[in-house]
Amino acid sequence: MRTFALISLFICSGVLAAFVFGFDLRDTVQTLEYDDEQEGLEDQVVIKFSHVTSEHTPKGLAARKFAELVEARTNGTVSVEIYANGALYNDQDEQQALKENRVQIIAPATSKLTSEYPDFQILDLPYAFSSYEEVRKAYEGTIGRTLLAELNKSEMRGMGFWYNGFKQMTSTSESLLHPSDFERMHFRRMPSPVIERQFQALDASTSLLPFNKTYENLHVEFINGQENTTSNIYTKKLYETQDHLTISNHGYLGYIVLTNETFWKNLSDEQREIIETSMEDATEWIRRHSIETNDAHLRELKRTDSISIHYLNQEQQNIWRQALEPVYIETEAFVGRELMQELDQITDQ
Ligand code: LMR
């Protein structure tokens, strides 16, 4: 009985003390900070930017740059969520996802638009460009404007061209130094008829495969070669499955940045202006940084020691050019004489 009385006394004094010293709920409520980060969230525009390469490639880095610029210039009222490595959609699905506004920005290789827009094939012609300056002239001049205008009739709006770099060849067992080295080889290729014709001219067969399936198809030896920039070869670890890398610079891999037309029209004038200038700044950034990123990744490839690197000399390059000459004649039927002349003008200057 005495114990019970003691316990009751102890509990009662505890409750009393809580009320006197600390149990003041009003205090707790009054000192809670108001979280202004949540303010206006319902008005926030979210741009899902989906792409297929690693975050450390020219495209991955430029997407990050673009996102930072847009978010800073809109005080966070427009946010850009980046999905790299094909985490949301691979290169075969992303255009459809964009058309249905499931994502708002994608940046596919220009080669991936060629089935719907055959004129884009012009950018895939082997040895079309022999310098970065020529690529810039094509993107910023009549060729770029013509291609963008074609797109703008569709649900996909072209925002600009982004840069990656010159493509190089990789192969298993045999090095690729002469066109005859391609015979009986099987390559992964992107969906451009020009690229298909390029490998046909070299007597090689091809399979059309998504970018993110290239590693595993090389690994199981379904294919024994592929072409890409050193940045993509390094960041996707393609060198682990390949014995030889030929620095051939035989083609250029660049991107077209696309947004959904309806999404675009629903933005305010101010939002559109900020997104457009941020895209221009990110484009200038990738133009200047894509070269050094590819160079840095080539240095990393040299350091891995797991792939032999061969440079084509001028004479070897001339032989490759000659072997690939028929591709030009076949391509003119698809892109027309006018665009081909524009290309000639750039390369003759
Ligand atoms: C490829 O499919 O090889 C490239 O287009 C990947 C990329 O987006 O750079």
Q: What is the DSSP string of 252-290?
A: EEEEEEEEEHHHHHTS-HHHHHHHHHHHHHHHHHHHHHH
3-state secondary structure 9-76: HHHHHHHHHHHHHHCCHHHHHHHCCCCHHHCCHHHCEEEEEECCCCCCCHHHHHHHHHHHHHHHHCCC
pLDDT number for residue 13: 53
- CB of 52 within 6 A of ligand 1: the answer is yes
Q: pLDDT (tens digit, 0 to 9) for every residue of the chain, 349 residues total? A: 454 454 455 554 544 444 444 444 444 444 455 555 555 556 799 999 999 999 999 999 999 999 999 999 999 999 999 999 999 999 999 999 999 999 999 999 999 999 999 999 999 999 999 999 999 999 999 999 999 999 977 899 999 999 999 999 999 988 999 999 999 999 999 999 999 999 999 999 999 999 999 999 999 999 999 999 999 999 999 999 999 999 999 999 999 999 999 999 999 999 999 999 999 999 999 999 999 999 999 999 999 989 999 999 999 999 999 999 999 999 998 898 999 999 999 987 6
Atom 3 of ligand 1 has which residue's CA nearest to it? 211
- CB of 227 within 6 A of ligand 1: the answer is no
- CB of 290 within 6 A of ligand 1: the answer is no
pLDDT number for residue 17: 47
| Residue 308 · residue 243 · CB < 8 Å | yes
pTM of the model: 0.87
Atom of ligand 1 nearest to the CA of 108: 8
- CB of 252 within 6 A of ligand 1: the answer is no
